[in-house]
Amino acid sequence: MNVEIWSDVACPWCFVGKRRFETALAGFEHRDDVEVTWRSFELDPDAPRERDVDIATHLASKYGRTREWALEAQQRLATVGAEDGIDFHHEIARSGSTFDAHRVIHLAAAHGRADEVKERLLRAYHSEGEPIGDPDTLARLVVEAGLPEEEVREVLAGDRYADEVRDDERTAGALGIHAVPFFVVDRAVGASGAQSPEAFAELLRQGWDRSATPA
């Protein structure tokens, strides 16, 4: 059974959703027969490599709200994240383009380390204040996660896996996915958002029952 997860490294709820899905998968009796595929989705395809304002200021401008509103939203998110073992520090986060991050996640998949790279980039962005739009920073992080440095730098210097990222995003549009995280089991059943582990467990059961039922 294949679970495709559309998400963005810069999306905090995608980090929360990953944790909750992992909890559900760990308790799923057929977990060894579940393959997880990370799919690309950019919250802001037009973002520069790094913004010159902090996230609270950017969010306030984006949604037409006050900076105080954005700071309060970040604090609420930090409280939620702590319940799932995530240490959010958006006061130091450095937002920017995630396109290259998605490209190296595709590279990681080719090496069987997509989950490790995804995890490293989520933690770097949301907890450590790393500018993941910066190629040198991105290279260092994914090498830490187990990818070969020479190949990583070769990918970042060119446009390898760009088509794969765009294809993921086109597929998301075709499937009606306009917000992330979004979880799809065998292109048959899906769930939107960082749902509870119990809800994800039910999604896995539905997907498994469907795959086990003769057509």
Domains of the chain are 2-212 (3.40.30.10)
Structure tokens at 113: 């380390």
**Residue 61: strand, helix, or coil:** helix
What does the angle CA 168 – CA 171 – CA 175 come to, to the nearest 5 degrees?
140
**pLDDT for residue 55:** 93
Give the pLDDT of residue 212: 74
> Average pLDDT in the 108-116 region?
98
Distance (Å, whole) CA 140 – CA 102:
15
Residue by residue, DSSP assigns 14-48 as HHHHHHHHHHHHHT-TTGGG-EEEEEE--S-TT--
- State pLDDT tens for residues 17-68: 999 999 999 999 999 999 999 999 999 999 999 999 999 999 999 899 999 9
**165-189: pLDDT as tens digits:** 999 999 999 999 999 999 999 999 9
Confidence category of residue 104, pLDDT binned at 50, 70, 90: very high
CA distances from 146 to 29, 86, 149, 209 (A): 29, 22, 9, 35
Q: In this predicted structure, what is the pLDDT of residue 214?
A: 59
d(CA 104, CA 30) in angstroms, rounded, equals 29
Q: What is the pLDDT of residue 213?
A: 67
